[in-house]
């Protein structure tokens, strides 16, 4: 195997040997077989380049959508950190409080025990989220509405910042998800974004209903 770090641009692997793409010093002896291997190598490099661009574009689109959702969460939840009649009513609304608590705990689970694990470990095994475990955690933490909102938004903001700084390769890292199999980092981010929509609608419904009452 060639020692050069850029060997993929200089050699094409065929069977048990590396074939040079270009042989300027032996051009007259360049066989048809060598040319075929060179063409295959050029196509391979082209395909890898396109794949890298696709992953980069997908990552950028996911980051854009994630940021849009973060802004929507911020617009809905940040005003509730200031004292107001609306905040007082929502604090007394057990259904709203439990829903926000559940979403905060699920978000923590996904970020800390899924996304971070994928970045830190090679193909980690990820168990399913346990609702009973989340309930016990909620009882133990016993957060106020302000604490819940601050924690939820800060976690989102930190993840958004991390997504912007991730190299393209990180989006391809995978984990083994229980009852599903191999899933990529990018796919888990995509699912987070997808699940944000019903959560945002539910939060908006709670707030609008409280305003109207």
Which domains does the chain carry? Answer: 58-212 (1.20.120.450)
Rounded distance between C-alpha atoms, residue 173 and residue 116, angstroms: 11
pLDDT band of residue 156 (cuts 50, 70, 90) is very high
**Region 183-190 average pLDDT:** 95
Q: 16 pLDDT exceeds 60?
A: no
What was the pLDDT predicted at 191? 94
What was the pLDDT predicted at 57? 56
How big, in percent rounded to 5, are the helix, strand and coil portions of the chain?
A: 75, 10, 15
pLDDT band of residue 36 (cuts 50, 70, 90) is low
Q: 178 pLDDT exceeds 70?
A: yes
The answer to whether 76 and 204 are in contact (CB under 8 A) is yes
The answer to whether 144 and 200 are in contact (CB under 8 A) is no
What was the pLDDT predicted at 179? 84
Percent of the chain residues past pLDDT 70, beyond the cut: 73
pLDDT band of residue 90 (cuts 50, 70, 90) is very high
Of residues 25 and 114, which shows the higher confidence score? 114
Average pLDDT, the chain: 79
Which candidate, 71, 70, 61, 69, places its Cα nearest to that of 171? 61
């Amino acid at each position: 195997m060639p020692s050069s770090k850029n060997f993929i641009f200089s050699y094409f692997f065929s069977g048990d040997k590396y074939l040079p793409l270009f042989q300027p010093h032996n051009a007259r002896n360049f066989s048809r077989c060598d040319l075929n291997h060179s063409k295959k190598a050029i196509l391979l490099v082209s395909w890898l380049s396109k794949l890298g661009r696709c992953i980069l574009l997908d990552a950028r689109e996911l980051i854009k959508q994630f940021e849009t959702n973060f802004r929507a969460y911020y617009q809905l939840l940040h005003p509730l950190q200031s004292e107001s009649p609306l905040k007082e009513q929502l604090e007394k609304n057990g259904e709203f409080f439990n829903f926000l608590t559940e979403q905060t705990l699920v978000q923590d689970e996904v970020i800390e025990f899924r996304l971070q694990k994928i970045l830190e470990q090679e193909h980690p095994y990820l168990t399913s989220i346990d609702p009973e475990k989340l309930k016990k955690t909620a009882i133990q933490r016993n957060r106020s509405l302000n604490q819940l909102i601050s924690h939820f938004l800060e976690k989102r903001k930190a993840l958004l910042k991390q997504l912007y700084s991730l190299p393209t390769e990180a989006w391809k890292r995978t984990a083994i998800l229980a009852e599903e199999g191999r899933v990529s980092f990018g796919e888990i981010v995509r699912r987070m974004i997808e699940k944000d929509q019903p959560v945002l609608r539910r939060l908006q419904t709670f707030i609008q209903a409280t305003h109207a009452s």
